Amino acid sequence: MKTWILISLVIVLTLTLSFLFLKITQATNTYPKSTINELEFTRVSSIKESLINTVAFDLKNQNLVFAGTDKLLYISLDNGLNWDPVTSVKGFINCIFIDAEGDVYVGTSNGLFRKFKNEIYWNLIYKGKEGSGKNVLSIASSVNNILIGTSNGLYLSTDSCKTWKKVSGLEGKQITVLAVLPEDTIYAATERGLYKSTKNINSWERVFYSRNQEVDQIVNPEDLEGQEYDELTASSNQINSIVFAEQSKLLYIGTQKGVFKSQIDNGIWTLMPEQGLLSKNINKLIINGEQELFAATKNGLFKLDSTNSNWLQIYKGISSNEIKDLAINPLKKDIFVATSRGLFKSSFKEIVLDNQVLSDLLKNFSSEPVILDVQKQAIRYAEVQPEKILNWRKLAAQKALLPKVTVDVDRYLTDLNHWDSGQNPDVLLEGDDDVGWGVSVSWELGDIVWNSEQTSIDTRSRLMVQLRQDILDEVNRLYFERRRLQIELLKSPPEDELKLVEKELRIAELTADLDALTGGYFSRYIENKIGG
């Protein structure tokens, strides 16, 4: 009996303390704080060129970073703070590869260049043949061998790049991506699919088809009509990236139609979830450790969430939609993003937010339009409203109710002036001016059910939907990047005057971009609110 009484007292005391603790918490922390991990990007100002094709880290030397443009190779010795051009490397920079020894290889439109780890000089080690054979698109290493993929096949060097030989089985194919897995399993991506080689490098098995198999059976495309061949190749799914998660034995490929994964042992490919992914066209995949999968796409940078079911967009500070390449330094947690508008760098930051402070902060922007209004104005200004297509369909159907009117006029002039065919053949006689006319009216009532113009409307509708989505994506990115910069200037303005001016100029630039998409609506709204 005493035991039950003691247990009851303990339960009552526990509940009472819990209740008091809850009340104290509510009284002292009415507005809870939340902690988030955030990525904030800033553009690398020392590279003036806009189009950055590729970027790469030297993982053994954390401060050494390379970036390639369509004209030059750039190198940074201080983790991206300062950059210098490498003038001895010529051509369009396609890819950068750093091997286990720290030697750097650069694939260009003029061949393959190399710099040894402890040297400063670059040497052209593969010239190739004139044309597509010299265009190096991908690089990989296997034991002591170097592999390069070109626009015209795969090449191998087994003697430290002194000589090169063409690999059999992939002749004439454009090798866009190369990957070497443990035990020297080699994967090569071409326009026809993903090929795998294990023991014999001259023997290849296709494990993923990039396009309709009917196209692969065509020996000479000229045997087909142009339109027919275009229809067959329209479903092509080019592979742009290959990554391997060693612990899980998962192989990921980034294609023009999404991300696919496969266990390397079974060869069964699964299309990964696309929720949150604004573009299926994947330019590059990166795995940070074993868990974090990043995707650089034609329409932004994304990270797969912890549930592996949803993609989260990362865009703070990135002023370009098209992400061409990215590189992650897992030691310093730095990310470099190569885009069509420059090179951007970011670091992981932990930020503590007080929800009440955030709520008060947002009140500073009450004079600005909300995102929904900006979206509506952008759609109206670009004339891509959904109602426009509905109106086209309605008018096409009503057209069938209007008759087709045809007016015919005939004038017989043969007998108007003629010679007498009787007794006086030399006499010119004048006859009547004979004019005949008629009017016909017809209806094509079948067009009420189906009008041939509907096919044209369907095509224009698909194009308009895509254009509208592109406009909305751009408006969203510009609007929220601008808002984040405003909050940053209010909460923690930079002490450096030059950086302060740069951020203010960036806000002005984003405002101008929003005005361009809305016909000046954004600035007019603010002026009217402030003036009113």
How far is the C-alpha of 385 from the C-alpha of 389, rounded, in Å?
8
The two structure tokens encoding residue 105: 């290889």
Tell me the pLDDT tens digit for each residue of 17-62.
444 444 434 433 444 444 334 677 888 888 888 899 999 988 888 7
CA distance 484 to 353: 14
More confident residue, 65 or 363: 65
Averaged pLDDT for residues 110-125? 92
- How far CA 129 is from CA of 83, 145, 323, 365, in Å, comes to 32, 21, 31, 60
Q: Which stretch of 146-155, 332-341, 343-352, 411-420 has the lowest confidence by average pLDDT?
A: 411-420
- Backbone φ and ψ for 156, nearest 5 degrees, come out as -130, 140
Residue-level pLDDT at 308: 82
pLDDT tens digits for 190-226? 988 999 998 788 899 999 988 655 445 544 444 544 4
Tokens 């450790």 correspond to: 289
* Helix, strand, or coil (residue 466): helix
As a whole number of angstroms, the distance between CA 422 and CA 378 comes to 83
User: What integer pLDDT is reported at residue 33 of this predicted model?
Assistant: 46
Residue 428 has pLDDT above 70, yes or no: no
Confidence category of residue 10, pLDDT binned at 50, 70, 90: very low
pLDDT (tens digit, 9 = 90+) per residue, 377-402? 998 898 888 777 777 677 766 666 66
Token pair of 333, please?
């947690």
Mean pLDDT (whole number) for 482-506: 84
Regarding predicted confidence, which is higher, 417 or 466?
466
Q: How many CA atoms lie within 13 A of 334 on its CB side?
A: 19
Helices 453-491 and 386-398 cross at an angle (nearest 10°) of 170
DSSP summary character for residue 221:
G
356's enclosing H/E stretch is helix 355-362
The residue ranking higher by pLDDT, 406 or 97, is 97
Coil, helix or strand at residue 102:
coil
Question: In the prediction, which pLDDT does 72 show?
Answer: 93
The β-bridge partners of 336 are 327, 345
User: What pLDDT sits at residue 481?
Assistant: 83
Smallest CA-to-CA distance from 251 within 169, 175, 182, 335 is with 182
The token pair that represents 88 in the structure block: 């001895």
Over pLDDT 70: what percentage of the chain?
Answer: 74
Q: Domain 39-216+234-353 classified CATH 2.130.10.10?
A: yes
Residue-by-residue DSSP string for 8-61: HHHHHHHHHHHHHHHHHHHHH-SS-EEEEEEEEEEE-TT---S-EEEEEE-TTS
Task: Please tell me the predicted confidence (pLDDT) of residue 109.
Answer: 92
- Alpha-carbon torsion angle 315, 318, 324, 330, nearest 10: -70
Q: CA 171 from chain center: how many Å?
A: 30
Q: What is the pLDDT of residues 133-173, one digit of tens each?
A: 789 999 999 777 899 999 999 999 999 899 999 999 888 88
Mean pLDDT across 315-331: 84
Nearest to 335 by CA among 367, 303, 380: 303
pLDDT, residue 6, reads 47
Q: What is the mean pLDDT of residues 398-427?
A: 65
Domain residue spans of the chain: 39-216+234-353, 366-386+452-531, 408-441
Output phi, psi for 410, to 5 deg: -125, 135
Share of the chain above pLDDT 90, in %: 30
In this prediction, residue 194 carries a pLDDT of 93
Q: Which helix (H) or strand (E) holds 214?
A: helix 213-216
Residue 339 has pLDDT above 80, yes or no: yes
Count Cβ atoms within 10 A of the Cβ of residue 276 and give its class: 0-12 exposed, 13-18 middle, 19 or more buried.
Answer: middle
pLDDT tens for 292-313 read 899 999 888 998 888 888 888 8
Return the H-helix or E-strand segment holding 193: strand 193-197
pLDDT in the model for residue 309: 83
Residue carrying structure tokens 């592109």: 470
Q: Render pLDDT for 228-281 as a digit per residue (tens, 0 to 9).
A: 444 444 457 899 999 998 888 899 999 999 999 998 877 789 999 888 888 889
